[in-house]
Structure 1
Amino acid sequence: MQPPRSPERSIIHRYRVADPDGHTVYLVHPGALDTSVHRGLAQALPAGVGLTVLDLSGLPEYWQAALTGGRATTTVEDLAFRLLTALHVDHICGSYVLAGWSFGGVVAHAMAGLPTSHRRPERLVLLDSIAPVEAYKQDDDVLEPSLLLGWFTMYLGAKRGRTVPLDAVRLANLGVDDGLKLVLEAAIAAEVLLPSTPLPGLRKLYDTYVDGLLRNNRLTNPYRPLPAPLPVLLAKAERSLIPQDRTMGWESLAPHGLEVHSCPGDHYTMLIRADAAAVIASLLRPA
Protein backbone atom coordinates (compact mmCIF):
# COMPACT_ATOMS: atom_id res chain seq x y z
CA MET A 1 0.00 0.00 0.00
CA GLN A 2 1.33 3.47 -0.90
CA PRO A 3 1.60 5.97 1.97
CA PRO A 4 -0.87 8.86 1.80
CA ARG A 5 0.38 11.85 -0.13
CA SER A 6 1.31 14.81 2.02
CA PRO A 7 -0.21 18.19 1.14
CA GLU A 8 1.88 20.54 -0.97
CA ARG A 9 3.86 23.01 1.08
CA SER A 10 4.81 26.50 0.00
CA ILE A 11 8.38 27.77 -0.08
CA ILE A 12 7.43 31.46 0.01
CA HIS A 13 5.71 32.93 3.09
CA ARG A 14 5.21 36.70 3.05
CA TYR A 15 4.75 38.16 6.51
CA ARG A 16 5.20 41.78 5.48
CA VAL A 17 5.30 43.38 2.04
CA ALA A 18 7.93 46.05 1.41
CA ASP A 19 7.08 49.50 0.13
CA PRO A 20 7.53 49.96 -3.65
CA ASP A 21 11.27 49.87 -4.41
CA GLY A 22 11.78 49.19 -0.70
CA HIS A 23 13.94 46.85 1.32
CA THR A 24 13.06 43.16 1.85
CA VAL A 25 14.42 40.59 4.27
CA TYR A 26 14.55 37.01 2.92
CA LEU A 27 14.93 34.60 5.83
CA VAL A 28 15.70 30.89 5.32
CA HIS A 29 13.74 28.76 7.79
CA PRO A 30 14.64 25.06 8.24
CA GLY A 31 11.42 23.86 9.84
CA ALA A 32 11.08 22.43 13.39
CA LEU A 33 8.95 25.44 14.37
CA ASP A 34 6.25 26.81 12.09
CA THR A 35 7.20 29.81 9.95
CA SER A 36 4.61 31.87 11.86
CA VAL A 37 7.20 32.29 14.66
CA HIS A 38 8.62 35.10 12.51
CA ARG A 39 5.48 37.26 12.75
CA GLY A 40 6.98 39.09 15.73
CA LEU A 41 10.10 39.91 13.71
CA ALA A 42 7.95 41.23 10.86
CA GLN A 43 6.26 43.64 13.28
CA ALA A 44 9.61 44.73 14.75
CA LEU A 45 11.11 45.72 11.37
CA PRO A 46 11.17 49.42 10.44
CA ALA A 47 8.23 50.81 8.50
CA GLY A 48 8.36 49.96 4.81
CA VAL A 49 10.68 46.94 5.24
CA GLY A 50 9.29 43.60 4.10
CA LEU A 51 9.83 40.09 5.44
CA THR A 52 9.57 36.95 3.29
CA VAL A 53 10.40 33.56 4.78
CA LEU A 54 11.93 30.93 2.50
CA ASP A 55 10.76 27.66 4.03
CA LEU A 56 12.96 24.62 3.45
CA SER A 57 9.98 22.48 4.44
CA GLY A 58 8.48 23.47 1.09
CA LEU A 59 11.04 21.13 -0.54
CA PRO A 60 9.77 17.52 -0.21
CA GLU A 61 13.22 15.96 -0.44
CA TYR A 62 14.19 17.98 2.64
CA TRP A 63 11.23 17.76 5.01
CA GLN A 64 10.33 14.14 4.26
CA ALA A 65 13.79 13.07 5.44
CA ALA A 66 12.74 13.95 9.00
CA LEU A 67 10.04 11.29 8.70
CA THR A 68 12.24 8.57 7.24
CA GLY A 69 15.20 8.32 9.59
CA GLY A 70 16.88 11.61 8.65
CA ARG A 71 18.39 10.57 5.31
CA ALA A 72 17.84 13.21 2.63
CA THR A 73 18.25 12.66 -1.11
CA THR A 74 19.62 16.16 -1.70
CA THR A 75 22.59 18.40 -0.86
CA VAL A 76 23.18 21.80 0.70
CA GLU A 77 24.13 23.13 -2.74
CA ASP A 78 20.88 21.90 -4.29
CA LEU A 79 18.78 23.34 -1.48
CA ALA A 80 20.56 26.69 -1.87
CA PHE A 81 19.99 26.72 -5.64
CA ARG A 82 16.28 25.90 -5.22
CA LEU A 83 15.72 28.67 -2.68
CA LEU A 84 17.78 31.21 -4.64
CA THR A 85 15.63 30.50 -7.69
CA ALA A 86 12.49 31.08 -5.61
CA LEU A 87 13.97 34.33 -4.27
CA HIS A 88 14.76 35.60 -7.76
CA VAL A 89 11.24 34.84 -8.94
CA ASP A 90 9.79 36.66 -5.92
CA HIS A 91 12.10 39.69 -5.73
CA ILE A 92 11.15 42.33 -8.28
CA CYS A 93 13.08 45.42 -7.18
CA GLY A 94 14.69 47.17 -4.25
CA SER A 95 17.48 46.13 -1.93
CA TYR A 96 17.41 43.02 0.22
CA VAL A 97 19.17 41.22 3.04
CA LEU A 98 19.57 37.45 3.21
CA ALA A 99 19.19 35.78 6.59
CA GLY A 100 18.91 32.28 8.00
CA TRP A 101 18.12 30.67 11.33
CA SER A 102 19.89 27.50 12.54
CA PHE A 103 20.56 25.15 9.59
CA GLY A 104 18.82 27.79 7.48
CA GLY A 105 21.91 29.93 8.05
CA VAL A 106 24.09 27.28 6.40
CA VAL A 107 21.80 27.29 3.36
CA ALA A 108 21.62 31.11 3.30
CA HIS A 109 25.42 31.26 3.37
CA ALA A 110 25.55 28.85 0.43
CA MET A 111 22.97 30.95 -1.46
CA ALA A 112 25.08 34.09 -1.00
CA GLY A 113 28.02 32.41 -2.74
CA LEU A 114 26.18 31.05 -5.77
CA PRO A 115 26.84 32.70 -9.16
CA THR A 116 23.97 34.99 -10.11
CA SER A 117 23.05 37.61 -12.68
CA HIS A 118 20.66 39.18 -10.17
CA ARG A 119 21.39 41.75 -7.52
CA ARG A 120 23.26 40.33 -4.53
CA PRO A 121 22.05 40.88 -0.95
CA GLU A 122 23.51 43.78 1.02
CA ARG A 123 24.69 41.44 3.75
CA LEU A 124 24.14 38.06 5.33
CA VAL A 125 22.57 37.75 8.79
CA LEU A 126 22.81 34.41 10.62
CA LEU A 127 20.60 33.59 13.60
CA ASP A 128 22.35 31.22 16.02
CA SER A 129 23.61 29.14 13.12
CA ILE A 130 26.56 26.75 13.45
CA ALA A 131 29.14 27.12 10.68
CA PRO A 132 29.67 24.06 8.42
CA VAL A 133 33.37 23.87 9.31
CA GLU A 134 35.35 20.78 10.23
CA ALA A 135 35.43 21.64 13.94
CA TYR A 136 31.65 21.24 14.11
CA LYS A 137 31.11 18.37 11.72
CA GLN A 138 30.29 15.29 13.75
CA ASP A 139 29.29 11.70 13.16
CA ASP A 140 25.78 10.82 14.28
CA ASP A 141 26.95 8.75 17.24
CA VAL A 142 28.82 11.74 18.72
CA LEU A 143 25.50 13.51 19.33
CA GLU A 144 24.97 12.34 22.89
CA PRO A 145 21.46 11.92 24.37
CA SER A 146 22.08 14.52 27.10
CA LEU A 147 22.95 17.14 24.46
CA LEU A 148 19.95 16.28 22.28
CA LEU A 149 17.59 16.18 25.27
CA GLY A 150 18.69 19.68 26.26
CA TRP A 151 18.01 21.00 22.77
CA PHE A 152 14.69 19.15 22.67
CA THR A 153 13.65 20.82 25.93
CA MET A 154 14.32 24.26 24.41
CA TYR A 155 12.30 23.25 21.36
CA LEU A 156 9.33 22.05 23.42
CA GLY A 157 9.15 25.33 25.27
CA ALA A 158 9.32 27.45 22.14
CA LYS A 159 6.48 25.47 20.54
CA ARG A 160 4.30 26.66 23.42
CA GLY A 161 5.76 30.16 23.56
CA ARG A 162 7.68 29.79 26.82
CA THR A 163 10.82 28.38 28.46
CA VAL A 164 11.06 24.97 30.16
CA PRO A 165 13.52 25.29 33.08
CA LEU A 166 15.67 22.16 33.21
CA ASP A 167 19.30 22.27 34.33
CA ALA A 168 21.56 20.51 31.82
CA VAL A 169 23.46 18.97 34.74
CA ARG A 170 20.41 16.85 35.56
CA LEU A 171 20.49 15.36 32.05
CA ALA A 172 24.20 14.53 32.10
CA ASN A 173 24.98 10.84 31.51
CA LEU A 174 21.30 9.89 31.20
CA GLY A 175 19.91 7.74 28.43
CA VAL A 176 16.97 8.85 26.32
CA ASP A 177 14.25 7.09 28.33
CA ASP A 178 15.40 8.36 31.75
CA GLY A 179 16.12 11.81 30.33
CA LEU A 180 12.67 12.11 28.77
CA LYS A 181 11.09 11.42 32.16
CA LEU A 182 12.82 14.53 33.50
CA VAL A 183 11.85 16.52 30.40
CA LEU A 184 8.21 15.47 30.82
CA GLU A 185 8.18 16.46 34.50
CA ALA A 186 9.73 19.86 33.73
CA ALA A 187 7.39 20.50 30.78
CA ILE A 188 4.31 19.67 32.86
CA ALA A 189 5.54 21.92 35.70
CA ALA A 190 6.04 24.77 33.17
CA GLU A 191 2.52 24.15 31.79
CA VAL A 192 3.98 23.38 28.38
CA LEU A 193 2.52 19.87 28.38
CA LEU A 194 -0.66 18.54 29.99
CA PRO A 195 -0.31 16.28 33.05
CA SER A 196 -1.97 13.52 31.00
CA THR A 197 0.78 13.57 28.33
CA PRO A 198 2.01 9.98 27.89
CA LEU A 199 5.73 9.28 27.89
CA PRO A 200 5.51 7.17 24.67
CA GLY A 201 3.92 10.14 22.90
CA LEU A 202 6.74 12.40 24.00
CA ARG A 203 9.25 9.77 22.85
CA LYS A 204 7.67 9.77 19.38
CA LEU A 205 7.96 13.56 19.16
CA TYR A 206 11.57 13.37 20.37
CA ASP A 207 12.47 10.74 17.75
CA THR A 208 11.03 12.90 14.95
CA TYR A 209 12.90 15.92 16.31
CA VAL A 210 16.19 13.99 16.40
CA ASP A 211 15.65 12.67 12.86
CA GLY A 212 15.41 16.30 11.73
CA LEU A 213 18.72 17.08 13.44
CA LEU A 214 20.34 14.00 11.92
CA ARG A 215 19.14 15.07 8.47
CA ASN A 216 20.80 18.45 8.86
CA ASN A 217 23.95 16.87 10.28
CA ARG A 218 24.19 14.44 7.35
CA LEU A 219 23.65 17.24 4.83
CA THR A 220 26.35 19.38 6.46
CA ASN A 221 29.09 16.74 6.83
CA PRO A 222 29.96 16.34 3.11
CA TYR A 223 29.41 20.04 2.33
CA ARG A 224 32.50 22.13 1.58
CA PRO A 225 31.57 25.81 1.97
CA LEU A 226 33.27 28.73 0.27
CA PRO A 227 33.88 32.06 2.05
CA ALA A 228 30.97 34.50 1.90
CA PRO A 229 31.42 37.25 -0.73
CA LEU A 230 29.75 39.85 1.52
CA PRO A 231 29.75 40.99 5.17
CA VAL A 232 28.27 38.58 7.73
CA LEU A 233 26.39 39.41 10.93
CA LEU A 234 25.76 36.74 13.54
CA ALA A 235 22.99 37.04 16.16
CA LYS A 236 24.00 34.54 18.83
CA ALA A 237 21.42 33.48 21.40
CA GLU A 238 22.33 33.97 25.06
CA ARG A 239 21.59 30.24 25.48
CA SER A 240 23.16 29.20 22.20
CA LEU A 241 23.60 25.65 20.96
CA ILE A 242 27.37 26.10 21.37
CA PRO A 243 27.86 28.79 24.03
CA GLN A 244 31.64 28.30 24.26
CA ASP A 245 32.39 29.68 20.75
CA ARG A 246 31.62 33.37 20.27
CA THR A 247 31.67 33.18 16.45
CA MET A 248 30.10 29.69 16.17
CA GLY A 249 32.83 28.86 13.62
CA TRP A 250 31.96 31.55 11.05
CA GLU A 251 35.14 33.63 11.28
CA SER A 252 37.01 31.68 8.58
CA LEU A 253 34.01 31.91 6.22
CA ALA A 254 33.54 35.68 6.52
CA PRO A 255 36.61 37.37 4.95
CA HIS A 256 34.63 40.59 4.33
CA GLY A 257 33.89 41.01 8.01
CA LEU A 258 32.00 39.27 10.81
CA GLU A 259 29.99 41.10 13.47
CA VAL A 260 28.68 39.13 16.44
CA HIS A 261 25.68 40.37 18.44
CA SER A 262 24.16 38.80 21.55
CA CYS A 263 20.45 38.06 21.37
CA PRO A 264 18.06 37.34 24.28
CA GLY A 265 16.65 33.84 24.66
CA ASP A 266 17.79 30.38 23.65
CA HIS A 267 18.19 28.88 20.19
CA TYR A 268 14.41 28.61 19.78
CA THR A 269 12.87 31.30 21.99
CA MET A 270 14.98 33.95 20.24
CA LEU A 271 12.38 33.62 17.47
CA ILE A 272 9.37 34.39 19.69
CA ARG A 273 10.62 36.92 22.25
CA ALA A 274 9.86 40.59 21.60
CA ASP A 275 13.22 41.73 22.99
CA ALA A 276 15.02 39.28 20.70
CA ALA A 277 12.97 40.45 17.70
CA ALA A 278 14.11 44.03 18.38
CA VAL A 279 17.78 42.99 18.32
CA ILE A 280 17.39 40.93 15.14
CA ALA A 281 15.37 43.65 13.40
CA SER A 282 18.18 46.14 14.05
CA LEU A 283 20.56 43.89 12.09
CA LEU A 284 18.18 43.49 9.16
CA ARG A 285 17.31 47.12 8.50
CA PRO A 286 18.54 48.80 5.27
CA ALA A 287 22.15 49.99 5.18
Structure 2
Amino acid sequence: MRPPREPRPPVARTFRTAEPGRRTVYMVHPGALPAQAYQGLADALPECDGLTVLDLGAVPEYAEAALTGGRAATTVPALAERLLAAMAPVDGPYTLAGWSFGGVLAVEMARALRPERLVLLDSIAPTDEYKQPDDALEPALLLGWFAMYLGAKRDSAVELAPDALTGLGTEEGLPVVLDAAVAAGALLPGTPLPGLRKLYDTYVDGLLRNNRLTAPHRPEPAPVPLVLVKAERSLLPGDPTLGWPPLAPHGLTVRGCPGDHYTMIGRPDSLDVIAPLLRASS
Protein backbone atom coordinates (compact mmCIF):
# COMPACT_ATOMS: atom_id res chain seq x y z
CA MET A 1 0.00 0.00 0.00
CA ARG A 2 1.30 3.42 -0.91
CA PRO A 3 1.73 5.88 1.96
CA PRO A 4 -0.88 8.65 1.92
CA ARG A 5 0.19 11.69 -0.06
CA GLU A 6 0.89 14.72 2.08
CA PRO A 7 -1.70 17.44 1.56
CA ARG A 8 -0.54 20.32 -0.58
CA PRO A 9 -0.05 23.53 1.44
CA PRO A 10 -2.57 26.33 0.94
CA VAL A 11 -1.96 28.86 -1.80
CA ALA A 12 -2.64 31.75 0.59
CA ARG A 13 -0.61 31.43 3.78
CA THR A 14 -1.26 34.02 6.47
CA PHE A 15 1.77 34.76 8.63
CA ARG A 16 0.00 37.50 10.56
CA THR A 17 -3.50 38.98 10.37
CA ALA A 18 -3.74 42.76 10.27
CA GLU A 19 -5.71 44.50 12.98
CA PRO A 20 -8.81 46.43 11.79
CA GLY A 21 -7.83 49.38 9.63
CA ARG A 22 -4.18 48.32 9.39
CA ARG A 23 -2.22 47.36 6.29
CA THR A 24 -1.93 43.86 4.86
CA VAL A 25 1.00 42.93 2.63
CA TYR A 26 0.24 40.26 0.01
CA MET A 27 3.51 38.74 -1.21
CA VAL A 28 3.58 36.61 -4.38
CA HIS A 29 6.13 33.84 -3.88
CA PRO A 30 7.34 31.77 -6.89
CA GLY A 31 8.74 28.87 -4.91
CA ALA A 32 12.43 27.84 -5.05
CA LEU A 33 12.78 28.67 -1.34
CA PRO A 34 10.14 27.58 1.20
CA ALA A 35 7.42 30.09 2.03
CA GLN A 36 8.67 30.04 5.63
CA ALA A 37 11.50 32.29 4.40
CA TYR A 38 9.10 35.22 4.87
CA GLN A 39 8.80 34.83 8.63
CA GLY A 40 11.53 37.44 9.07
CA LEU A 41 9.57 39.86 6.89
CA ALA A 42 6.44 39.29 8.97
CA ASP A 43 8.44 40.11 12.09
CA ALA A 44 9.94 43.24 10.47
CA LEU A 45 6.56 44.80 9.64
CA PRO A 46 4.80 47.05 12.18
CA GLU A 47 3.22 44.97 14.93
CA CYS A 48 -0.39 45.56 13.86
CA ASP A 49 0.15 45.02 10.12
CA GLY A 50 -0.43 41.71 8.40
CA LEU A 51 1.38 39.49 5.90
CA THR A 52 -0.11 36.85 3.61
CA VAL A 53 2.13 34.91 1.23
CA LEU A 54 0.56 33.77 -2.06
CA ASP A 55 2.61 30.66 -2.81
CA LEU A 56 2.82 29.55 -6.44
CA GLY A 57 4.51 26.41 -5.17
CA ALA A 58 1.08 25.28 -3.93
CA VAL A 59 -0.43 25.54 -7.44
CA PRO A 60 -0.01 22.04 -8.96
CA GLU A 61 0.24 23.00 -12.63
CA TYR A 62 3.01 25.44 -11.76
CA ALA A 63 4.95 23.49 -9.13
CA GLU A 64 4.98 20.17 -10.96
CA ALA A 65 6.43 21.74 -14.12
CA ALA A 66 9.77 22.07 -12.29
CA LEU A 67 9.79 18.27 -11.92
CA THR A 68 8.69 17.42 -15.46
CA GLY A 69 10.98 19.36 -17.78
CA GLY A 70 9.91 22.93 -17.09
CA ARG A 71 6.75 23.10 -19.23
CA ALA A 72 3.71 24.36 -17.35
CA ALA A 73 0.18 23.81 -18.64
CA THR A 74 -0.92 27.29 -17.65
CA THR A 75 -0.31 30.99 -18.39
CA VAL A 76 0.59 34.13 -16.46
CA PRO A 77 -3.02 35.46 -16.57
CA ALA A 78 -4.39 32.07 -15.43
CA LEU A 79 -1.93 31.96 -12.52
CA ALA A 80 -2.89 35.51 -11.56
CA GLU A 81 -6.56 34.48 -11.50
CA ARG A 82 -5.66 31.48 -9.32
CA LEU A 83 -3.90 33.70 -6.80
CA LEU A 84 -6.71 36.27 -6.80
CA ALA A 85 -9.21 33.50 -6.09
CA ALA A 86 -7.12 32.32 -3.12
CA MET A 87 -7.12 35.73 -1.46
CA ALA A 88 -9.59 36.57 1.26
CA PRO A 89 -11.67 39.72 0.70
CA VAL A 90 -9.35 42.68 1.14
CA ASP A 91 -10.31 44.79 4.16
CA GLY A 92 -8.29 47.92 4.83
CA PRO A 93 -5.19 49.28 3.08
CA TYR A 94 -2.96 46.77 1.36
CA THR A 95 0.29 46.39 -0.52
CA LEU A 96 0.85 43.90 -3.32
CA ALA A 97 4.42 42.66 -3.71
CA GLY A 98 6.25 39.92 -5.57
CA TRP A 99 9.71 38.42 -5.41
CA SER A 100 11.50 37.30 -8.58
CA PHE A 101 8.97 35.79 -11.04
CA GLY A 102 6.35 36.62 -8.42
CA GLY A 103 6.75 40.26 -9.43
CA VAL A 104 5.46 39.45 -12.92
CA LEU A 105 2.35 37.94 -11.32
CA ALA A 106 1.96 40.87 -8.94
CA VAL A 107 1.86 43.35 -11.83
CA GLU A 108 -0.73 41.19 -13.62
CA MET A 109 -2.86 40.94 -10.46
CA ALA A 110 -2.65 44.69 -9.88
CA ARG A 111 -4.94 45.27 -12.86
CA ALA A 112 -7.78 43.75 -10.82
CA LEU A 113 -6.74 44.81 -7.32
CA ARG A 114 -5.42 48.36 -7.77
CA PRO A 115 -3.25 48.16 -4.63
CA GLU A 116 -2.04 51.23 -2.79
CA ARG A 117 1.53 49.97 -3.14
CA LEU A 118 3.09 47.69 -5.75
CA VAL A 119 6.58 46.50 -4.80
CA LEU A 120 8.82 44.18 -6.82
CA LEU A 121 11.76 42.37 -5.24
CA ASP A 122 14.52 41.79 -7.81
CA SER A 123 12.00 40.96 -10.55
CA ILE A 124 12.95 41.07 -14.23
CA ALA A 125 10.40 42.79 -16.47
CA PRO A 126 8.48 40.57 -18.93
CA THR A 127 9.17 42.88 -21.88
CA ASP A 128 10.41 41.73 -25.28
CA GLU A 129 13.88 43.16 -24.66
CA TYR A 130 14.25 41.01 -21.53
CA LYS A 131 12.75 37.79 -22.84
CA GLN A 132 15.36 35.22 -23.75
CA PRO A 133 15.14 31.89 -25.59
CA ASP A 134 16.03 28.89 -23.48
CA ASP A 135 19.42 28.45 -25.12
CA ALA A 136 20.42 32.00 -24.15
CA LEU A 137 20.58 30.86 -20.51
CA GLU A 138 24.21 29.80 -20.62
CA PRO A 139 25.64 27.27 -18.13
CA ALA A 140 28.02 29.76 -16.48
CA LEU A 141 25.10 32.10 -15.76
CA LEU A 142 22.84 29.33 -14.47
CA LEU A 143 25.58 27.81 -12.31
CA GLY A 144 26.29 31.19 -10.72
CA TRP A 145 22.62 31.62 -9.89
CA PHE A 146 22.51 28.05 -8.57
CA ALA A 147 25.41 28.80 -6.22
CA MET A 148 23.47 31.76 -4.79
CA TYR A 149 20.40 29.56 -4.43
CA LEU A 150 22.37 26.86 -2.59
CA GLY A 151 23.76 29.43 -0.20
CA ALA A 152 20.31 30.76 0.66
CA LYS A 153 18.82 27.28 0.98
CA ARG A 154 21.57 26.17 3.36
CA ASP A 155 22.03 29.54 5.10
CA SER A 156 25.71 29.67 4.12
CA ALA A 157 26.86 32.04 1.39
CA VAL A 158 28.60 30.17 -1.44
CA GLU A 159 31.33 32.45 -2.76
CA LEU A 160 32.80 32.02 -6.24
CA ALA A 161 35.60 34.00 -7.82
CA PRO A 162 34.29 36.35 -10.54
CA ASP A 163 35.77 34.25 -13.33
CA ALA A 164 35.42 30.83 -11.70
CA LEU A 165 32.78 29.64 -14.15
CA THR A 166 33.82 31.57 -17.26
CA GLY A 167 33.75 29.37 -20.33
CA LEU A 168 32.68 26.27 -18.40
CA GLY A 169 29.83 23.99 -19.34
CA THR A 170 27.58 22.26 -16.85
CA GLU A 171 29.74 19.16 -16.50
CA GLU A 172 32.90 21.18 -15.82
CA GLY A 173 31.26 23.91 -13.76
CA LEU A 174 29.15 21.88 -11.35
CA PRO A 175 32.20 20.42 -9.53
CA VAL A 176 33.43 24.01 -9.05
CA VAL A 177 30.12 24.89 -7.39
CA LEU A 178 30.27 21.71 -5.30
CA ASP A 179 33.76 22.53 -4.01
CA ALA A 180 32.72 26.09 -3.15
CA ALA A 181 29.56 24.89 -1.39
CA VAL A 182 31.53 22.39 0.71
CA ALA A 183 34.10 25.07 1.59
CA ALA A 184 31.26 27.40 2.67
CA GLY A 185 29.61 24.73 4.80
CA ALA A 186 26.52 24.72 2.59
CA LEU A 187 27.13 21.06 1.69
CA LEU A 188 28.80 18.28 3.63
CA PRO A 189 32.19 16.92 2.55
CA GLY A 190 31.63 13.88 0.40
CA THR A 191 28.37 15.16 -1.08
CA PRO A 192 28.01 13.12 -4.29
CA LEU A 193 28.08 15.03 -7.54
CA PRO A 194 25.14 13.06 -9.05
CA GLY A 195 22.90 14.16 -6.17
CA LEU A 196 23.87 17.79 -6.69
CA ARG A 197 23.28 17.39 -10.43
CA LYS A 198 19.72 16.23 -9.74
CA LEU A 199 19.08 19.29 -7.59
CA TYR A 200 20.62 21.52 -10.25
CA ASP A 201 18.47 20.03 -13.00
CA THR A 202 15.31 20.66 -10.96
CA TYR A 203 16.47 24.21 -10.27
CA VAL A 204 17.09 24.85 -13.98
CA ASP A 205 13.73 23.34 -14.94
CA GLY A 206 12.11 25.84 -12.57
CA LEU A 207 13.90 28.70 -14.32
CA LEU A 208 12.93 27.34 -17.74
CA ARG A 209 9.31 27.08 -16.61
CA ASN A 210 9.27 30.75 -15.65
CA ASN A 211 11.08 31.69 -18.85
CA ARG A 212 8.54 29.81 -20.96
CA LEU A 213 5.59 31.31 -19.08
CA THR A 214 7.01 34.79 -19.65
CA ALA A 215 7.75 34.33 -23.37
CA PRO A 216 4.15 34.56 -24.69
CA HIS A 217 2.98 36.99 -22.01
CA ARG A 218 2.06 40.49 -23.19
CA PRO A 219 1.80 42.58 -20.03
CA GLU A 220 -0.22 45.74 -19.64
CA PRO A 221 1.51 48.69 -17.95
CA ALA A 222 1.21 48.77 -14.17
CA PRO A 223 -1.87 50.76 -13.07
CA VAL A 224 -0.04 52.32 -10.10
CA PRO A 225 3.54 53.48 -9.45
CA LEU A 226 6.14 50.72 -9.17
CA VAL A 227 8.77 50.29 -6.48
CA LEU A 228 11.65 48.01 -7.43
CA VAL A 229 14.03 46.71 -4.76
CA LYS A 230 17.21 45.45 -6.39
CA ALA A 231 19.58 43.14 -4.54
CA GLU A 232 23.26 44.02 -4.40
CA ARG A 233 23.93 40.67 -6.10
CA SER A 234 20.94 40.70 -8.40
CA LEU A 235 20.35 38.14 -11.13
CA LEU A 236 21.31 40.99 -13.49
CA PRO A 237 23.67 43.07 -11.32
CA GLY A 238 24.66 45.50 -14.07
CA ASP A 239 21.11 46.49 -14.98
CA PRO A 240 19.78 49.34 -12.80
CA THR A 241 16.03 48.98 -13.55
CA LEU A 242 15.69 45.33 -14.70
CA GLY A 243 13.64 46.55 -17.67
CA TRP A 244 10.64 48.03 -15.85
CA PRO A 245 10.47 51.65 -17.18
CA PRO A 246 8.21 50.80 -20.18
CA LEU A 247 5.70 49.19 -17.81
CA ALA A 248 5.76 51.99 -15.23
CA PRO A 249 3.88 54.97 -16.75
CA HIS A 250 2.95 56.19 -13.26
CA GLY A 251 6.53 56.20 -12.04
CA LEU A 252 9.30 53.84 -11.02
CA THR A 253 11.30 54.09 -7.79
CA VAL A 254 14.39 51.90 -7.48
CA ARG A 255 16.03 51.06 -4.16
CA GLY A 256 19.01 48.82 -3.47
CA CYS A 257 19.39 46.37 -0.61
CA PRO A 258 22.16 44.09 0.72
CA GLY A 259 22.39 40.42 -0.14
CA ASP A 260 21.75 38.49 -3.31
CA HIS A 261 18.63 37.53 -5.24
CA TYR A 262 17.81 34.71 -2.83
CA THR A 263 19.01 35.96 0.55
CA MET A 264 17.33 39.36 0.18
CA ILE A 265 13.97 38.01 1.39
CA GLY A 266 15.40 36.81 4.70
CA ARG A 267 18.47 38.87 5.64
CA PRO A 268 17.76 41.30 8.50
CA ASP A 269 19.75 44.10 6.84
CA SER A 270 17.78 43.59 3.60
CA LEU A 271 14.49 43.57 5.47
CA ASP A 272 15.48 46.88 7.07
CA VAL A 273 15.24 48.30 3.52
CA ILE A 274 12.28 46.28 2.24
CA ALA A 275 9.83 46.50 5.16
CA PRO A 276 9.51 50.32 5.20
CA LEU A 277 8.93 50.34 1.40
CA LEU A 278 6.00 47.97 1.78
CA ARG A 279 4.16 50.41 4.01
CA ALA A 280 5.43 53.86 3.00
CA SER A 281 3.16 56.20 1.06
CA SER A 282 5.96 57.71 -1.03
TM range (shorter): over 0.9
Instruction: Give the Cα separation in 2 of the matches to 1:218 and 1:211.
Output: 10
Tell me how far 1:26 sits from its aligned partner. 0.1
For structure 2, the residue ranges without an aligned partner over 5 or more in a row are none
User: SS at the partner of 1:54?
Assistant: strand
RMSD of Structure 2 on Structure 1 (CA) = 1.4
User: Counterpart in 2 of 1:48?
Assistant: 48
Normalised to the residue count of structure 1, the TM-score between the two structures is 0.94
Moved >3 Å (runs of 4+):
4-7
Which amino acid is 1:8 matched to?
R
- Superimposed CA distance per residue, residues 30-58 of structure 1 (whole angstroms, 9 cap, x where no aligned partner): 00000111111111111211110000011
CA distance in 1, matches of 2:78, 2:271: 30
* Aligned length in residues: 279
Q: Does 1:102 align with 2:104?
A: no
Instruction: Report if the CA contact (8 A) 1:23-1:286 is conserved.
Output: no
Does the alignment pair 1:261 with 2:255? yes
What SS does the aligned partner of 1:236 have? strand
1:231 maps to which of 218, 225, 238: 225
Structure-2 residue corresponding to 1:22: 22
- For normalisation by structure 2, the TM-score amounts to 0.96
Write the distance in 2 (CA, Å) between the matches of 1:5 and 1:36. 21
Match of 1:279 in 2: 273
The amino acid of 1:144's aligned partner reads E
Partner of 2:80: 80
Distance in 1 between residues matched to 2:128 and 2:260, nearest whole Å? 24
| 1:180 matched residue in structure 2 | 174
**Identity of aligned pairs, percent?**
64
Query: Does the aligned pair in 2 maintain the 1:161–1:272 contact within 8 Å?
Result: no
5 Å matches for 1:72-221? 72-87=72-87, 90-114=88-112, 120-221=114-215
Is the CA contact (8 Å cut-off) linking 1:102 and 1:130 kept in structure 2?
yes
Kindly provide the amino acid, as one letter, of the partner of residue 47 in structure 2.
Answer: A
- Separation (CA, whole Å) in 2 of partners of 1:142 and 1:35: 29
Shift of 1:92: 4.2
Residue 6 of structure 1: how far off its partner (Å): 6.3
User: Do the aligned residues in 2 keep the contact of 1:106 with 1:129 (CA within 8 Å)?
Assistant: yes
